[in-house]
Amino acid sequence: GDSVTQMEGPVTLSEEAFLTINCTYTATGYPSLFWYVQYPGEGLQLLLKATKADDKGSNKGFEATYRKETTSFHLEKGSVQVSDSAVYFCALSDRGDSNYQLIWGAGTKLIIKP
Amino acid sequence: EPEVTQTPSHQVTQMGQEVILRCVPISNHLYFYWYRQILGQKVEFLVSFYNNEISEKSEIFDDQFSVERPDGSNFTLKIRSTKLEDSAMYFCASSEARAGNYGYTFGSGTRLTVV
């Protein structure tokens, strides 16, 4: 079945450092890919998405490119801030005939130190 | 910006009791979902709902669980006889179309604690 694998956390960086959180997937169809963010004590917010190969999703300085050849959707940010500290989830939705659900990665906790 | 609203934000219940978690999806959305997240673990799909019926459900969504859209705005999750292992954060979500096109809008969650 479909699955999402994320790098394990926590990831600890200093402010202004470059961030990469790896995400790879397996899917039988043509998935859409998502990054969600969960700030401490809050719900799940859609950060960015990409619906087809080579699409780049971007939001709030974060980017991720849908790479079909490597089945990856790595999250990047050039200069992180303390306020980016959160748990980041990679997810996919396989646009099969009856698949309505999101398949989630385990989440990666990001800690940014001043 | 439109929001998905969940109530209550935190519910404590005794084992064996029934609980109802409430959600108000975004008004023009057609697809509704419940997910849960046990503390420190993955987000897990429970159920999707479209056109007044369940579209898909996971193995977690057994006979103890039910969903309902009692009127034009609310979407509820009922757990008939809660168990300790039902303690989790429960998230409601809605979308205009299948998640593959747009992703979801999630509510802020209900933290259910079964004691």
State pLDDT tens for residues B62-82: 999 999 998 878 999 999 999
Contact A101 B48 (CB under 8 A): yes
* DSSP letter string, A3-35: EEEE--S-EEEETT--EEE-EEEE-SS-EEEEE
Give the confidence band of A41 by pLDDT, cuts at 50, 70, 90: confident
The stretch A28-44 carries a mean pLDDT of 88
The stretch A25-48 carries a mean pLDDT of 90
State pLDDT tens for residues A18-29: 999 999 999 887
Which helix (H) or strand (E) segment holds residue B67: the answer is strand B65-68
The stretch A9-20 carries a mean pLDDT of 96
Q: Cβ contacts of residue B15 below 8 Å, gap of 6+?
A: B82, B83, B84, B114, B115
Residue A104's pLDDT is: 92
Which one of B1, B42, B56 would you mutate to disrupt binding with A, by most A Cβ within 10 Å of its Cβ?
Answer: B42
The stretch A60-66 carries a mean pLDDT of 97
Q: In the predicted model, what is the mean pLDDT of chain A?
A: 92
Partner residue facing A95 (CB), from B56, B98, B109: B98
Contact A102 B44 (CB under 8 A): no
Work out the widest C-alpha separation in chain B, in whole angstroms: 40
Check CB contact of B100 with chain A, cutoff 8 Å. yes
Which one of B43, B53, B90, B102 would you mutate to disrupt binding with A, by most A Cβ within 10 Å of its Cβ?
Answer: B43
Looking at residue A41, the DSSP 8-state letter turns out to be T
Residue B100's pLDDT is: 57
Residue A38's pLDDT is: 92
Distance from C-alpha of A19 to C-alpha of A63, rounded to nearest angstrom:
10
Q: Give the phi and the psi of residue B99 in degrees, each rounded to 5.
A: -55, -25
State pLDDT tens for residues B77-108: 999 999 999 999 999 999 887 655 667 889 99
Residue A87's pLDDT is: 95
Residue A95's pLDDT is: 67
Give the confidence band of A99 by pLDDT, cuts at 50, 70, 90: low
The stretch B12-30 carries a mean pLDDT of 95
